[in-house]
C-alpha cells in the first residue's frame, strides 16, 4: 500500500525554510506579544510571512499523511477467522484467570464433563425462595426500617419476575435455554479469559484482596455463586430473562449482587429523606 506523497509545492517550500526560522516562527505563533512592534524587514532577503505559511503547510501535510497512514492500516485483514484473531490477540482482549491458590487449580475441564448437573442447578435457582432477611444494612437505617424496605424491594422485584412468567412470554424451557447459555459463557470465560473491558469495569471498585476472593474463582465455585445470586435476588432473575448484559454477574456474582443491594439502599434512603422532608413541610404549614 503506497503512502501519501506531499505536493511538490509544499515539499519545495519545506526545503527552503531554515531550521532556525522555522523554530522562530513556530514560537512566534504560539506566544504572540501584543506589545511587540512589527519585525523590521529582514536584511538577508527572507520573508517572515512566507516562513509562517511554509510551517503551516508542513504541519497540514504531516497531519494529512498521518491520517492517510492510519486509514491504510485498516484496509486489509490480518486474520482469517475469529478463532485465529482470538488466539493471536488473547492477551490484548482478555484478562486471564490465575487462581491465587495454586494447590487448588481450576476445575473447568471437570465441569465441562457434566454440564447437566450445573444447568439443572442454575434452572432450579429461578424457582427457589428469595433472600428474605436484609443484608449489608447501612448505619442510617434502623433494623425495622431496613427490613420493611427490604421486604418491599424483594416483593416488587419478584412480582415483576412473575409478571413475565404469567404472561407466557417466559416459561421453564426458556429459562433452561438461558441457563445453558449462561453455563457456556462461564466455561468460555475460564477457557479464554474475561473480556478486559468488563474486567476494568468490575475491578475499579474492588481491592486486590477482593479480586482474589470475588473474581479469581474455580469454575464450579463461580457457577455456585451465580446460582446463589439468582436465588437470592429476583431482580437478577429478571436481568437474565430480559437478556440484559450479565457479564458482570459472570465475572463476579457476589459483587454483582452487592451492587444491587447498595443501589437499593441508596434509593430507599433518598425516598425516606424526601418523604420526611415533605411531612415536615406539611406540619409547618398547619
Q: Is 127 in the same domain as 205? A: yes
**Reported confidence tier of residue 3, pLDDT bands at 50, 70, 90:** very low
Q: Is 269 in the same domain as 139? A: yes
Q: Is 104 in the same domain as 66? A: no
Residue 83 lies in a domain: no
Residue 205 has a pLDDT of 77
**Reported confidence tier of residue 280, pLDDT bands at 50, 70, 90:** low
Specify the pTM.
0.66
Residue 178 lies in a domain: yes
- Under DSSP, the state recorded for 45 is S
**Cα of 124 vs its chain's centroid, Å:** 30
Domain count, the chain: 2
Highest mean pLDDT among 30-34, 97-101, 176-180: 176-180
Q: Is 159 in the same domain as 247? A: yes
Which ranges of 171-233 does DSSP label H, i.e. alpha helix? 172-192, 196-203, 208-214, 219-232
Per-residue pLDDT reduced to its tens digit, 51-94: 666 666 665 555 555 555 577 778 889 999 988 887 888 777 77
Residue 84 lies in a domain: no
Q: Is 158 in the same domain as 115? A: yes
Residue 54 lies in a domain: yes
Residue 3 lies in a domain: no
d(CA 245, CA 7): 51
Q: Is 63 in the same domain as 173? A: no
Q: Is 274 in the same domain as 203? A: yes
Residue 248 lies in a domain: yes
Domain closes at, from 72, 102, 127: 72
168: left (phi over 0), alpha (psi -120 to 50) or beta: left
Q: Which residues form the domain of 59?
A: 8-72
* Contact by Cβ (8 Å): 248, 202: yes
Domain closes at, from 40, 72, 104: 72
Residue 211 lies in a domain: yes
**Reported confidence tier of residue 211, pLDDT bands at 50, 70, 90:** confident
Q: Is 125 in the same domain as 195? A: yes
Domain closes at, from 72, 101, 121: 72
The sign of the torsion formed by the CA atoms of 190, 193, 195, 200 equals positive
Q: Is 171 in the same domain as 224? A: yes
Per-residue pLDDT reduced to its tens digit, 178-192: 999 999 999 999 988
Q: Is 96 in the same domain as 53? A: no
Amino acid at each position: 500500500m503506497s503512502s501519501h506523497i506531499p505536493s511538490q509545492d509544499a515539499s519545495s517550500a519545506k526545503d527552503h525554510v531554515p531550521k532556525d526560522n522555522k523554530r522562530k516562527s513556530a514560537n512566534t505563533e504560539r506566544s504572540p506579544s501584543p506589545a511587540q512592534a512589527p519585525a523590521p524587514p529582514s536584511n538577508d532577503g527572507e520573508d517572515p510571512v512566507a516562513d509562517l505559511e511554509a510551517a503551516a503547510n508542513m504541519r497540514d501535510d504531516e497531519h494529512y499523511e498521518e491520517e492517510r497512514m492510519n486509514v491504510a492500516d485498516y484496509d486489509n485483514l490480518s486474520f482469517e477467522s475469529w478463532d485465529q484473531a482470538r488466539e493471536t490477540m488473547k492477551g490484548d482482549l482478555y484478562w486471564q484467570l490465575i487462581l491465587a491458590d495454586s494447590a487448588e487449580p481450576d476445575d473447568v475441564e471437570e465441569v465441562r464433563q457434566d454440564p447437566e448437573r450445573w444447568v439443572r442447578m442454575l434452572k432450579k435457582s429461578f424457582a427457589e425462595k428469595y433472600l428474605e432477611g436484609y443484608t449489608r444494612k447501612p448505619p442510617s437505617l434502623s433494623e425495622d426500617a431496613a427490613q420493611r424496605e427490604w421486604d418491599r424491594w424483594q416483593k416488587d422485584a419478584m412480582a415483576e419476575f412473575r409478571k413475565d412468567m404469567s404472561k407466557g412470554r417466559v416459561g421453564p424451557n426458556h429459562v433452561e435455554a438461558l441457563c445453558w447459555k449462561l453455563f457456556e459463557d462461564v466455561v468460555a470465560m475460564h477457557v479464554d479469559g474475561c473480556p478486559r473491558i468488563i474486567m476494568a469495569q468490575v475491578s475499579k471498585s474492588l481491592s486486590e484482596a477482593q479480586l482474589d476472593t470475588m473474581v479469581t474463582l474455580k469454575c464450579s465455585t463461580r457457577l455456585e455463586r451465580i446460582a446463589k445470586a439468582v436465588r437470592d435476588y429476583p431482580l437478577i432473575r429478571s436481568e437474565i430473562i430480559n437478556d440484559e448484559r450479565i457479564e458482570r454477574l459472570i465475572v463476579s456474582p457476589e459483587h454483582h449482587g452487592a451492587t444491587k443491594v447498595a443501589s437499593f439502599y441508596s434509593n430507599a434512603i433518598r425516598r425516606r429523606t424526601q418523604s420526611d422532608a415533605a411531612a415536615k413541610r406539611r406540619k409547618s404549614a398547619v
